[in-house]
Amino acid sequence: MNSASGKEALTLVFVYSGEFAERVIRNLINDLSFCKSCGLYCDSCKYNVYSFVRNIRAAMELPNSSELPAFIDNPEKYMPKKIPKADLCVSSGLHKDLLLELPHHMQKVGMKGLIVPIEDFNEVPSGLRKQIEEKCRELGLENAFPKPFCSLEPAKDKPTISRLVTELKIGRPSLELSTARRGKREVIESSIVKRSAPCGSTWYVAKKLIGVKTEKEILYDAIAKAHHSYPCTATMNVDPEAKEPILHIAGYIIREEVEKTLRKVQTRI
């Protein structure tokens, strides 16, 4: 039971292929061996702060698209024998025919919503996304296709999906910053993660911001270097809808959050 809201805890099932979903899962459960970006300088900034292991009912890995026929006549053959009941399903990396089949399985077990993060346009092109959106509407399922996953924000018409962002604290990053004067320059004194990118990169970026001067050029360089060093899992292939790589979009998102938060701090001073 979620004591703060009086609601039952949000429950998730992951149905996936490839490494991206595993990265999100390991961030959510706060796996002690997951984040090693700081190496010998790790101060365990995120460990023991949270764990959502009890919210995850199952992580079900299906065959990789490269191991399957280009067109699957009987997708049921490759689907899980039984998907446990949960509030939400998060799916990534699936063969297009298996992804199209998934909403029916979700509806049968009483799920309320589907999230399909788009870290690579080739995995979920716009035509496939529209097909799945239509199928979800027919079945009464909430759906979201955040591109990238760290762009996901709460929406009034998607209450269950919004709970992933507000209760499990993943989606579009949110920070709390404070600054201090060091001589004639202003630097970031502290950086607290209020909501992380689903892959966990926000924790690393936040740590690397401490001591950084707030001058735009220096700040941008520090954010970009940290974001690429984690590294972000989004593709560098140019997305035909956004006209630029999805990795760049992810970088702009964390940069915008840092700038927005700094403006609030500077306004209060």
Range 65-71 contact pairs with CB under 8 angstroms and sequence separation of 24 or more: 65/17, 65/93, 65/94, 65/95, 65/96, 68/95, 68/98, 71/97
* Residue 6 included in any domain: no
The residue out of 117, 138, 167 marking a domain boundary is 167
- Residue 38 shares a structural domain with residue 157: yes
Same domain, 120 and 186: no
Asked whether residue 93 falls in the same domain as residue 142, the answer is yes
Residues 68-112: tens digit of each pLDDT: 999 999 999 999 999 999 999 999 999 999 999 999 999 999 999
Whether residues 232 and 260 share a domain: the answer is yes
Bond prior to 75 in cis (omega within 30° of 0) = no
Number of domains the chain is built from: 2
Query: Is the same domain home to 99 and 29?
Result: yes
Question: Does 185 reside within a domain?
Answer: yes
125 contacts 132 by C-beta, under 8 angstroms: no
Q: Is 89 within the bounds of a domain?
A: yes
What is the dihedral sign for C-alpha 212, 217, 222, 227? positive
pTM for the model: 0.92
> Over the stretch 213-247, which tens digit does the pLDDT of each residue have?
999 999 999 999 999 888 777 888 889 998 999 99
pLDDT-derived band at 33, boundaries 50, 70, 90: confident
Distance CA 23, CA 39 (A): 18
Question: How far is Cα 16 from Cα 204, in angstroms, rounded to an integer?
Answer: 25
**Cβ within 8 Å of residue 39, ≥6 positions away:** none
- Which of 120, 142, 167 terminates a domain? The answer is 167
**Residue 255, in any domain of the structure:** yes
Domain range for 146 = 12-167
Query: What CATH number does residue 53 fall under?
Result: 3.40.50
- Say what the pLDDT of residue 1 is: 43
pLDDT at 269 over 90: no
Q: Would 23 be classed as within a structural domain?
A: yes
Residue 119 CA, chain-centre distance (Å), reads: 10
The Cα–Cα gap between 171 and 195 comes to 7
What pLDDT does residue 6 have? Answer: 60
Residue 16's nearest CA partner among 95, 97, 69 is: 95
Phi and psi of 115, rounded to 5°? -115, 125
133, 200: one domain: no
18 shares a domain with 151: yes
> Is 69 a domain residue?
yes
Domain membership flag for residue 42: yes
CB atoms within 10 A of CB 22: 17
Q: What angle do CA 223, 229, 231 make, to 5 degrees?
A: 105
- Do 156 and 188 sit in the same domain of this protein? no
Average pLDDT, the chain: 92
Q: pLDDT of 135-176, one tens digit each?
A: 999 999 999 999 999 999 999 999 999 999 999 999 999 999
When mean pLDDT is compared over 10-14, 42-46, 229-233, the highest value belongs to 10-14
Contact 239, 225 (CB under 8 A): no
Q: Are residues 199 and 160 part of one domain?
A: no
The per-residue pLDDT for 3 is: 44
Same domain, 73 and 182: no
Question: Cα–Cα distance between 143 and 154 in angstroms, integer?
Answer: 12
Residues 105 and 193 reside in one and the same domain: no
